Structure 1
């Protein structure tokens, strides 16, 4: 395991005849966009490329429309080339069933921006100061001498626009990078709408039900407050995973709470918990104490039990 620069990662990838790129479980726009952008660039250099993600949850339809989606292969059909790259996975476990493919590689590369990532590859490009993994992939592409075109730029834009909350918490570098991507031909208006502001009509009913049960504890977090909502299995099973992910962005808007949490019951008694904070609370140790991880202001973990038990374990610890 070696901390790597973008130039070192470019050196490890340059000239590789075949590369496997792995995205994390429950894929979002940053992992898929980063994987496809890197894959398109490497195919331009003559490499044989496969991009895959664990099949635990289906790929959101909009991500299947990104340029380069032809590089995606089902997890069961992954060859596992000598060079394997993980994009946006905070730990080896986030690769789920594809973790053995990464571990078996002759040369393994990790590209990620999660603060909880301690590195698990031969070359680890990990930068928690980056808003998303896509901007780290762009740095690698620059060092590979790849000229941005509209297809590669669109894949990178998907990561930037989603992981910055449509630029609501973007650092200055992300705006400069986005200008490059738009100049390369990205239709920012169309892709922002598709990735951020498009929901099926049934989503409105789901949101109204979940938000009606939201609760506020103003005494948690040393009086800074927590707001939380529960998405039970019967509600979650009636929608796609990405639709349930949007709930946290609504709950976090409560002005009375520094921390927001959404508890999602993925199977009876099995939960994933999404955490967000605004200014003062570092969520990484909170999530890490429960086997999870992420960023200072955006983390998550898994738990088991009844809804009341899972909620109580978090709220009472704050």
Structure 2
């Protein structure tokens, strides 16, 4: 496959690896850069920091980073391992091994995507079905609830003790990507119980990540929800609800406040599909999609240049928001 245009390189074919193979790749690295996706959530940051902690303990030089925004969301500032984070402009130009975590495509690395071509080798660790397999190697388990769950299995085979610091990072990804355990699979609660048994405070972690916002979030939410539109005949009659967050709405707020809006919009009973169009710059939109049971929004997002999970996905769009909404409605049918 090829990289995204801004980091064009000769075509390569990613090699799928088993857990033991991944361990050998990691242990053989002389230096590692771990990259999380832009607008990071707790799964990508929790994964990046957990892996970084393990590599540091094994004496392997490591740095962790993400391209944007320019600082870690406040809700994740209490995660262990944040001392391993470096600003995007301080990321090594090249490394023996570059690892991406919870990042479905090279484009999701933002300005740091160029580091892919400069690394000796790259390893993609993810759980998104739509992952484009853009690295030298990949470990992609789309049956996993979160990328932190993939790492938990990797650590077990690696004989890594999952102590409270690692459990905190892993639990952060698990609780957020399962929507506070609303979307679970067999074994999800077993992993959660195991992590909680290390002594971490699961309630406090969830509250910081999911239920804490500055006061300014409330007036933003009021303005945005007043823009919501219900389209009952969209998605073959199953209904679409969409809302728009403009830069003026979210001024002074963090990315986590913006990202939280979709989880409120998606509660609309009359709509199977929900969408929030988030303005990142004039004419540039990041779109979050959710569905309840019958629409595969990952497939919808893929047709629009993005990807994700069956019931939670996203993509980017440019131009007038009305045009972007029309394109989504046409794709949904």
Preserved contact between residue 114 and residue 127 of structure 1 (Cα < 8 Å): yes
Distance (whole Å) between structure 1 residues aligned to residue 126 and residue 118 of structure 2? 20
Q: Deviations over 1:14-40 (max 9, x none)?
A: 243321111111111111100000111
Whether 2:55 is the aligned partner of 1:35: answer no
Aligned to 2:228: 214
Distance (whole Å) between structure 2 residues aligned to residue 46 and residue 315 of structure 1? 52
Aligned to 2:305: 291
Q: What is the Cα deviation at residue 275 of structure 1?
A: 0.4
Q: What is the Cα deviation at residue 95 of structure 1?
A: 1.0
Length-normalised TM-score, structure 1: 0.96
Unaligned runs of 5+ residues in structure 1 are: none
Distance (whole Å) between structure 2 residues aligned to residue 186 and residue 56 of structure 1? 28
Aligned to 1:46: 59
Q: Deviations over 1:280-309 (max 9, x none)?
A: 111122111211111111111111222222
Of 95, 104, 111 in structure 2, the residue corresponding to residue 97 of structure 1 is 111
Q: What is the Cα deviation at residue 191 of structure 1?
A: 0.6
Distance (whole Å) between structure 1 residues aligned to residue 298 and residue 79 of structure 2? 31
Whether 2:179 is the aligned partner of 1:174: answer no
Distance (whole Å) between structure 1 residues aligned to residue 199 and residue 59 of structure 2? 23
Q: What is the Cα deviation at residue 198 of structure 1?
A: 0.4
Aligned to 1:270: 284
Q: What is the Cα deviation at residue 118 of structure 1?
A: 2.8
Preserved contact between residue 34 and residue 134 of structure 1 (Cα < 8 Å): yes
Q: Could you say what the CA RMSD is over the residues aligned between the two structures, in angstroms? A: 1.3
Preserved contact between residue 236 and residue 266 of structure 1 (Cα < 8 Å): no
Displacement over 6 Å in runs of 4+: none
Distance (whole Å) between structure 2 residues aligned to residue 264 and residue 179 of structure 1? 35
Length-normalised TM-score, structure 2: 0.92
Q: What is the Cα deviation at residue 103 of structure 1?
A: 2.5
Structural mapping, 1:196-211, within 5 Å: 196-211=210-225
Q: Deviations over 1:157-189 (max 9, x none)?
A: 110011111111121222111111111222101
* Secondary structure of residue in 1 paired with 2:74: coil
Q: Deviations over 1:222-273 (max 9, x none)?
A: 1110111111221123321110110000010111111000011111111111
Preserved contact between residue 272 and residue 301 of structure 1 (Cα < 8 Å): yes
Distance (whole Å) between structure 2 residues aligned to residue 210 and residue 167 of structure 1? 27
Aligned to 1:4: 17
Structural mapping, 1:177-256, within 5 Å: 177-256=191-270
Aligned to 1:108: 122
Preserved contact between residue 294 and residue 300 of structure 1 (Cα < 8 Å): yes
Aligned to 2:72: 59
Distance (whole Å) between structure 2 residues aligned to residue 103 and residue 156 of structure 1? 29
Distance (whole Å) between structure 1 residues aligned to residue 281 and residue 70 of structure 2? 13
- The 1:57/1:282 distance shift into structure 2, 3 A limit, reads farther
Distance (whole Å) between structure 2 residues aligned to residue 112 and residue 39 of structure 1? 16
- The 1:121/1:307 distance shift into structure 2, 3 A limit, reads closer
Distance (whole Å) between structure 2 residues aligned to residue 287 and residue 68 of structure 1? 33
Distance (whole Å) between structure 2 residues aligned to residue 306 and residue 92 of structure 1? 25
* Secondary structure of residue in 1 paired with 2:77: helix
Q: What is the Cα deviation at residue 277 of structure 1?
A: 0.6
